[in-house]
Amino acid sequence: MYKTNNVFKATAVALLLSGCATQSPTLSSGNVEYGDSKAVESLTNEFGSTDLQTIAESMASSLLQSPALFAKSRPLVTVAEVKNRTSEYIDTKSITDSIRTKIIKSGMVRFAVDTSAMQTQVDELSRQNQTGLYKKSKSKKMGNMEGADFRIEGTITSIVKRADDVKDVYYKFSLQLVDIESGTMEWADEKEIRKTSNKSMF
Amino acid sequence: MRSYDDELKQTIDLVGKGQIDQALTQHESNNTGGDFDLLYYLEKGELLRLNSQYNDSASAWLLADQKVNEWENEAKIRAGAILENVGTVVLNDKTRRYDGHDYEKVMLSTRLALDHVLTGDWNAARTEIKKTHEREAIIAEINAKDTEALEQESKEKGISTTFKDLNGYPVETLNSAEVTTLKNGYQSAFSHYLAGFVYEALNEQGLASPGYRQAIELRPDIKILEDGLSTLETRPGLRKSSETDVLFVVESGTAPTLNSITIPVPVIVSNLGVIPISFPVLHSDTSHTLQPSTVGIDGKNTLPLAAITSLDTLSKRALRDDMPGIIVRGILRAAAKTLSQKALMDQGGGVALAGIALNIANVITESADERTWRMLPATISIARMTLPSGKHDIAIGSSKQSIDIQGSHAIVVTRLLGNQTYWSQPAYGPQMPVYAAPAMIQPLKKVDGSAINTPAKKSKKKKVKKPVHQAQG
């Protein structure tokens, strides 16, 4: 009992001294560190986090300056596919997700469910309306979805060249805004990225 | 000393006779002690897969994957240190920890992906496929650094011997056009085509596209690979909701054996003269397994099978790329052994006896590393067709099987070995991942809150069918 009390007191004092009452506990082996998610990443010359962030930042700010998008109040936009024309496994949906997040934060645009999330949307509506589990007065009705005013679509291409000890990779990300009713292209922009590395990197 | 080649020959013979349970027992009896190496798990996973134990197979391969992860973590740190401590190593390459050949590491992720698909877990398959790309990138980086270090070391030590200089070595096995035209010794068209197919099934065209594109780059001018990319955008619109896009994967034979050949090599280091050194030689599969050229469907259609990946050729390319390192290590090891033996002999008396003992030990231990993943197939062929969902009679070679195909996409894997055909019964594939079935939406005729006359959605039980395995003679 004596030992237990001493241990308890020592622990309490240690906690007070370290101010642990206001800090989250940390478990660490000492081998893992958190880094800055915005830090420039140049470990290899393949498509990386910095490229994704650069493209998303550039495209979102350009799109938010497009007069066509704001001709009407809070237009409804949907995101179509960004076609990957490179030989790299680039998750283009991750790029468009970042662009969409930046634009939606402006509060000036609304986004309609895109094709990849459509099945989930349909399933949810069907569940509420067809399973008999929900109050009819409380379930969301079918047939009330809104059609988007604009569609965002694009492509990413690359040119890779190797010569002696150097590998050069050029990426071009093109994005465009299409008025769905008229079929007219209302805005387009491109972001180019060039990365060069020496032999030990490829 | 343990002969890996002999052990696996017996196991493969049993598989070729359809005796999978005995093959598994044999494999366990060959590996006792509990501290199992990478090869144990690689071979075990393959045997369990042939026995339709896909979850057990995946478990074994995930343990193998942990070992490959350990290698990756270590290799990233030691990249470029390919010859570290080699001068002091008396024993040969086969006493080193088995880390697997590069193509084996890549094929491990690919085969794990297939296991997951066969149990209906396409998202887990996607994880493995993503791991494949990351693994290939790590291998490329490590190989580049190792090659640079090797060139530097060879230059410093004055070693310019290539496998073509080894008098008596079957140079033709590593110098054929098939081998030299491969991009490298670890990337396969099948792995990338499978990546394309899985991403497509999960409605990720942006990732499917580079999968098909890389498959074409690795094996140009193969129609099925070109079609995979050229019709990628139009395919979803052409397939009806009652149809399944089926990929037939037909694997045949086994990967080649690695044997040892001893060749006298002039050792310039310390002017030691000519010393016999052992080198690995690959011998193609001798199981005389049929490599089918077509898949029959319901006795009506015959689909051509395209052989898109040869593990036989890939392993030869891997050995060709590894040979510079094997030669340099062999020469440096031979020099170290000879010098230590000479030093003991020069001292005379009892020390000389130790020199003789060391000489005997050298003779016993000096043989090339014969370890390789033998249960991998020699060839992987594919065919693809959109079929009405439901049961179909599939014929490959002389074997037939009724396969129930469901979902928007399915993969049917068949393995031929000896006179046996091992079929897989795919679990239900993903259900229409794309919103392309407007019939599911019945817009309201009445919006006044009264009766909603929408037909009940047809029940879609996502039950996973128990895989069926049938070995046929």
CB within 8 Å of B151: residues ≥ 6 apart: none
Q: How far is Cα B262 from Cα A36, in angstroms, rounded to an integer? A: 54
Classified as helix, coil or strand, B341 is helix
- Structural domain for A81, as ranges: 47-132+146-201
* pLDDT score at B457: 42
pTM for the complete prediction? 0.81
- Checking B229-237 for CB contacts under 8 A at 24+ apart, the result is B229/B196, B232/B196, B232/B200, B232/B205, B232/B208, B233/A83, B233/B205, B235/B200, B236/B434, B236/B436, B237/B436
Contact B7, B31 (CB under 8 A): no
CB contact under 8 Å between A81 and B217, yes or no, is no
Closest residue to A86, CB basis, from B137, B210, B432? B210
Q: How far is Cα B237 from Cα B295, in angstroms, rounded to an integer? A: 26
Longest Cα–Cα distance in chain A: 84
Contact B465, B402 (CB under 8 A): no
CB contact under 8 Å between A201 and B144, yes or no, is yes
**How many domains does chain A divide into?**
1
Contacts of B449 in chain A (CB under 8 A): 136-137
**Domain presence at residue A3:** no
- Could you tell me if B441 lies within 8 Å of chain A, comparing CB atoms? yes
Q: Where are the domains of chain B?
A: 4-383
**Domain presence at residue A11:** no
| Chain A nearest CA to B241, separation (Å) | 13
Contacts of A92 in chain B (CB under 8 A): 206-207
ipTM of the assembly?
Answer: 0.71
CB within 8 Å of B218: residues ≥ 6 apart: B182, B183, B187, B188, B189, B192
Q: Are strands B243-252 and B409-417 parallel, antiparallel or unpaired?
A: parallel
Q: Are strands B294-297 and B390-396 parallel, antiparallel or unpaired?
A: antiparallel
- Could you tell me if A82 lies within 8 Å of chain B, comparing CB atoms? yes
Please give the DSSP secondary-structure letter assigned to residue B467.
P
| Chain A nearest CA to B166, separation (Å) | 29
User: What is the CATH number for A53?
Assistant: 3.40.50.10610
Contacts of A125 in chain B (CB under 8 A): 441
- Could you tell me if B451 lies within 8 Å of chain A, comparing CB atoms? no
CATH class of B4-383: mainly alpha
Apex B125 CA angle, B306 and A96, nearest 5: 100
Classified as helix, coil or strand, B17 is coil
pLDDT by residue for chain B (473 residues), tens digit each?
Answer: 567 888 889 999 999 999 999 999 999 999 887 789 999 999 999 999 999 999 999 999 999 999 999 988 887 776 555 555 444 445 555 567 889 999 999 999 999 999 999 999 999 999 999 999 989 988 988 888 888 888 888 888 788 888 888 888 999 999 999 999 999 999 999 999 999 999 999 989 999 999 999 999 999 999 999 999 999 999 988 999 899 999 999 999 999 999 889 888 887 666 667 888 889 999 998 777 888 999 999 998 899 999 999 999 999 999 999 999 888 888 888 787 777 766 766 666 665 555 555 555 555 556 778 899 999 999 999 999 999 999 999 999 999 999 999 999 999 999 999 989 999 987 776 764 443 333 333 444 444 444 334 344 444 444 444 434 443 33
| Chain B nearest CA to A18, separation (Å) | 35
Residue A42's DSSP bridge partners are none
CB contact under 8 Å between B206 and A93, yes or no, is yes
CB contact under 8 Å between B141 and A87, yes or no, is no
**Domain presence at residue A18:** no
To the nearest 10°, report the CA torsion of A11, A17, A23, A25: -40
CB-side neighbour CA atoms (13 Å) of A64? 18
**Domain presence at residue A126:** yes
Closest by CA to B330, choosing from B373, B272, B284, is B272
Tokens of B279: 């080198």
CB within 8 Å of B339: residues ≥ 6 apart: B270, B272
Classified as helix, coil or strand, A30 is coil
Closest residue to B217, CB basis, from A87, A89, A136? A87
- Could you tell me if B84 lies within 8 Å of chain A, comparing CB atoms? no
Q: At what angle do helices B38-50 and B20-30 cross, to 10 degrees?
A: 170
